[in-house]
Amino acid sequence: MSKTVKLRKGFDINLAGKAENKISDSQHSRTYAVKPTDFIGMQRPKALVAVGDSVKAGTPVLVDKKNETVNYVAPVSGEIVDIKRGEKRKLLEIVILADKKIEYESFQNYSTSDLVKVSKDDLKEQMLKAGVWPNIIMRPYGVVADSNDTPKSIFISGFDSSPLAPDYNISFKGEDKAFQAGVSVLKKFTDGYIHINVNSADEVNPMFLNADGVQINKFSGKHPVGNVGIQIHHVDPISKGDVVWTVAPAGVVQIGKLFLDGKFDATKIIALTGSEVSNPQYHKTYAGANVKTFTEGNLKSDHVRYISGNVLTGENIGKEGHLGFYTNQFTILPEGDYYQFMGWIAPTTNKLSFHKAFGLLSFLNGSKKEYVLDTNMQGEPRAFVQSGAFEKVVPMDILPTHLLKAILAEDFDEMEELGLYEVIEEDFALCEFIDVSKHDVQSILREGLDLLQYS
């Protein structure tokens, strides 16, 4: 039965630089990259290609030695021009110099009517081989799903509530057929519901509402209302021993295109956002694109931070970096590497603050003001202050502060009882934003998840 959920906890970060509702005909990026660091839980990445090799879109370039059944494939065709490694020869990036015209590996394609007749095993084999399987994320732990699991349900969030989030009506315009095909494939993997969760306060893309074989749930509230983990908690909570899969809409579309067109299609529309972008708008590209394609001649300043993703959970990739596999947003903010006299205590109306004592006059602006914020931390790490604020921005029946302390103490029983199975980093990202102690909350949470998963 469909649910309607209204959340009262949370906090919206209203930033300047939202993408205009138009899609740019931007030029094709020269290089694209596949990055093992995009795939949380990948323990021993192994490159399957060498510099100088030619690949097609869909050619396997990477596997995890711990699970070699899942292929990670090239998003475009071209030549392998670099394999970047870090300390202890850790594999960081496989870089492809793209062809002007993309060539594709061929896979079995099906008509919409034939697709429902294909067996689960045949679907799984092709998904693993063709590189679309990493779109399926397992809860708990937030890692690429184990293909041997049978999830009790599958969740798809039909909206994003994070700062400067893309509008899914633009990102997925015209993708109805591929989305439905992806849903039909995913339905073979669970005996439970496929939940599609939409924002009851905004216009919803008909692609979600018209999908067959799903349960539509309606949500309203402040961020993180769009996080799929929050939605799972209120619709079908995770207990110890449960497995739930989550798939982003872009992943569902990519799975659908694999079976309808017989190819790995890494096409995506990303939102270029942020106060330092001269012309924030949407760009059609491929996963792993080099960010210079979108930034050259399009910045108000050179002293900026390049974020693959949103400002709360994104990765700082630098001006020569490549977008991540799951990225549907690219954000550019002013760099905050400076000292400010009096810091947060100075009276001002130009700072956004959850704590009305900090930024002093900022709460007088109301909820509509768009802020130009930089990356300055306004302080340094200090003792863990228990203020009760975390509980006000996490709309779940758990105690974030107590959970984080249980992780720091490596108390396994407490971690389980306090709800660690239900959350991943994005669900606690607001805690990190409002934390007066300046802790890396998301890293602490990941440490706890790794302790439970691998101990």
Cα–Cα dist 69/116, whole Å: 24
End-to-end CA distance of the chain, in Å? 37
Same-domain check for residues 202 and 268: yes
Cα–Cα dist 96/82, whole Å: 7
pTM surpassing 0.75?
yes
Phi and psi (nearest 5°) for 6?
-115, 120
Domain count within the chain: 3
- Domain harbouring 64, CATH code: 2.40.50.100
Q: Give mean pLDDT, residues 35-54.
A: 96
User: Would 363 be classed as within a structural domain?
Assistant: no
Cα–Cα dist 444/367, whole Å: 31
Same-domain check for residues 209 and 137: yes
Q: Give mean pLDDT, residues 361-387.
A: 74
Same-domain check for residues 134 and 41: no
- Residue labelled with tokens 């249980």: 406
Same-domain check for residues 53 and 87: yes
Report the 3 state secondary structure along 53-85: CEECECCEEEEECCEEEEEEECCCCEEEEEEEE
User: Would 265 be classed as within a structural domain?
Assistant: yes
User: Would 153 be classed as within a structural domain?
Assistant: yes
Q: Report pLDDT for 383.
A: 77
| Poorest-pLDDT segment among 30-44, 330-344, 390-404 | 330-344
Cα–Cα dist 123/186, whole Å: 9
User: Would 282 be classed as within a structural domain?
Assistant: yes
Give buried/exposed letters for 135-144 (b at 16+ CB in 10 A, else e). Answer: bbbbbbbbbb
- Residue labelled with tokens 């509230």: 221
Same-domain check for residues 298 and 415: no
User: Would 309 be classed as within a structural domain?
Assistant: yes
- Write out pLDDT tens, residues 19-32: 999 998 767 899 99
Angle at 18 between CA 13 and CA 21, to 5 degrees: 140
User: Would 441 be classed as within a structural domain?
Assistant: yes
User: Would 22 be classed as within a structural domain?
Assistant: yes
Same-domain check for residues 145 and 173: yes
Same-domain check for residues 197 and 115: yes
Same-domain check for residues 41 and 151: no
Same-domain check for residues 417 and 276: no
User: Would 432 be classed as within a structural domain?
Assistant: yes
- Write out pLDDT tens, residues 283-318: 999 999 999 999 999 999 999 999 999 999 999 999
Residue 376 — pLDDT band, cuts 50, 70, 90?
confident
Same-domain check for residues 151 and 206: yes
DSSP strand pairing (54-55 vs 78-85): antiparallel
The residue among 202, 171, 172 whose CA lies nearest residue 282 is 171
Q: Report pLDDT for 341.
A: 63
The residue among 398, 429, 428, 395 whose CA lies nearest residue 8 is 395
Q: Give the 3-state secondary structure of residue 129.
A: helix
Structural domain boundaries enclosing 287? 1-26+104-336
Same-domain check for residues 115 and 260: yes
Phi and psi (nearest 5°) for 183?
-65, -45
Flag whether pLDDT at 348 surpasses 90.
no
Q: Report pLDDT for 62.
A: 97
Higher pLDDT, 358 or 194: 194
Domain end: 76, 98, 120, which one?
Answer: 98
Same-domain check for residues 93 and 148: no
Q: Do residues 321 and 354 make contact, with C-beta atoms less than 8 angstroms apart? A: no
Give the length of the chain: 455
